[in-house]
Structure 1
Amino acid sequence: MNRQRAPIAVMVFLLGFSSATRAADVRLAIAANFTDTARKLITAFADESGLKASPSFGSTGKLYAQIQNGAPFDVFLAADSHRPALLEKSGQGVAGTRFTYATGKLVLWSPQRNTFDRPEDWLASTGFTRLAIANPKTAPYGLAAQQVLAGLNLWEPLQQKLVRGDSIAQTFQFVATANVQAGFVALSQVQAWESSGGSLWLIPQNLYSPIDQQAILLSHGDGNDAARQWLLFLQSKTARSIIERYGYETQR
């Protein structure tokens, strides 16, 4: 009985998966820091083109691993330039399609006012117990936070106080829900946050390497015209205006 029913269940699952796949004209793998911006862009893309983009959000490192393992994404919007370059080199990314769509900004942030008036002194003090960063191994914003702390000679002294998020999105949630007193997050996340106020330090660029976020057409999407239209839209005046509104810099 079970042996007869199993194939039917599998067929139903596959049909459902196929329908879900057809419902999206282009499938996007998007770095978590870009979540709010991407949702706005996807709406604008649909209004202009009539095409539907389906996003999957996560840390750049984890999305990269999924792509390497055959995940059927058409376009990768990373939070760094390193992994798209690796995909281009391996042939999993289409040569000549890689470009920087945004440059991110790192901030130290707390939703509470007057948490730190002098952020460098606060980081070196004993006035807090937990500080959030994204995992430097998988999240470029986490790597940038590590570079900042290392440059301030605080990376090793603060190890016991660091709370690591799997992605910059989870890191932001740690801070926004007051599970930690402050954290290193993306400026775009703070600007998209519904509440106002808090304490914010826009970290000087000389303390971390530029966060050049690059997009690339993946080999799975090479024959997908909607994927190429998305990449063209991402470089349009409309898209750049949205991206800059959310706290990023763009190339013009």
Structure 2
Amino acid sequence: MTIPTAMQSRLPALPRALAALGLALAALAADAEQVHVAVAANFTAPMQKIAAAFAADTGHKAELSFGATGKFYAQIVNGAPFQLLLSADEATPAKLEREGLAIANTRFTYALGRLVLWSAQPDLVDAQGAVLNTERFRHLAIANPKLAPYGAAAVQVMQKMALDTALQPRLVQGESIAQAYQFVASGNAQLGFVALSQVMVDGRIANGSAWLVPTSLHDPIRQDAALLAPGKDNAAAAALLQYLRGDKARAIIRSYGYGF
């Protein structure tokens, strides 16, 4: 087969282009770093999507650990090597900053959380949450209010509704909001106060029934991020903090029902 003269003249350029691409990829890999992130349990699904987009866009990798904010605080105080905290509240990052365990002036609110009363049963929860005044359920799941801000918000709701004493015998507590959700999803609890992000898909409740709790019934759930002391000189940590403020991350966050 004879290669046309015009095509022959282009052939040497292909190896050069591939070599240049290889050098660019090598440079990107050399600059890429990893950041270990402690993430509030309610933010599991959106953060998994954000981390994937972050890796594709920057080359950096986010290693994610999910759990209760209070538990993360105890681990950080005891030397856990987290470099970034995505808290379920604003108080914990502020406290870590005062204690010298978070870097000053790096805190910001990455999301405003919403609380819902949810059941896996389609017709159990009404649009006003009046089911809480009935005998139609045996157990009500909440996250531990001492460890999880969403659990503390659930307690405030019950107090505002003057139902805290009546509901106390039916409460079951999960260590985190993720465990509270599992109690309800599994049917071990008929109802639960969970994060909207856990039950929302594409802008609607994916299954079951839910009451979106009015924000007037509890303190705002301001979820703050902060750079922790071990991440001070980590390029991936700084890049992820910036990425969370960007349009792509915010679109993902908003799709799970969070505000800003």
Tell me the TM-score normalised to structure 1 length: 0.87
Who is 2:196 aligned against? Answer: 187
Residue 121 of structure 1 deviates from its aligned partner by 2.7
Who is 1:145 aligned against? Answer: 154
Residues 192 and 57 (structure 1 numbering): CA distance in 2 closer, same or farther, change over 3 Å?
farther
Who is 2:21 aligned against? Answer: none
Q: Which runs of 5+ in 1 are unaligned?
A: 1-22
Q: Which runs of 5+ in 2 are unaligned?
A: 1-31
Give the letter for the 2:131 counterpart: W
Who is 1:226 aligned against? Answer: 236
Who is 1:35 aligned against? Answer: 44
Identity %: 52
Residues 111 and 24 (structure 1 numbering): CA distance in 2 closer, same or farther, change over 3 Å?
farther
Name the count of aligned residue pairs. 228
Who is 2:81 aligned against? Answer: 72
Say whether 1:202 aligns with 2:209: no
Is 144-153 or 24-33 further displaced after alignment?
A: 24-33
User: What is the distance in 2 between the residues matched to 1:176 and 1:120?
Assistant: 18
Say whether 1:25 aligns with 2:34: yes
Q: Is the 8 A contact 2:67 2:176 kept in 1?
A: yes
Q: Is the 8 A contact 2:83 2:229 kept in 1?
A: yes
**TM-superposition CA deviations, 1:164-190 (whole Å, max 9, x none):** 000000000111111111100000000
2:117 aligned residue (108, 115, 126): 108
- The structure 1 segments of at least 4 consecutive aligned residues displaced by more than 4 Å after TM superposition are none
Max Rg structure: 2
Q: Is the 8 A contact 2:118 2:125 kept in 1?
A: no
Residues 243 and 118 (structure 1 numbering): CA distance in 2 closer, same or farther, change over 3 Å?
closer
Tell me the TM-score normalised to structure 2 length: 0.85
User: What is the distance in 2 between the residues matched to 1:117 and 1:25?
Assistant: 45
* RMSD of aligned Cα (Å): 1.7
2:138 aligned residue (124, 129, 133): 129
Give the letter for the 2:247 counterpart: K
Residue 144 of structure 1 deviates from its aligned partner by 0.4
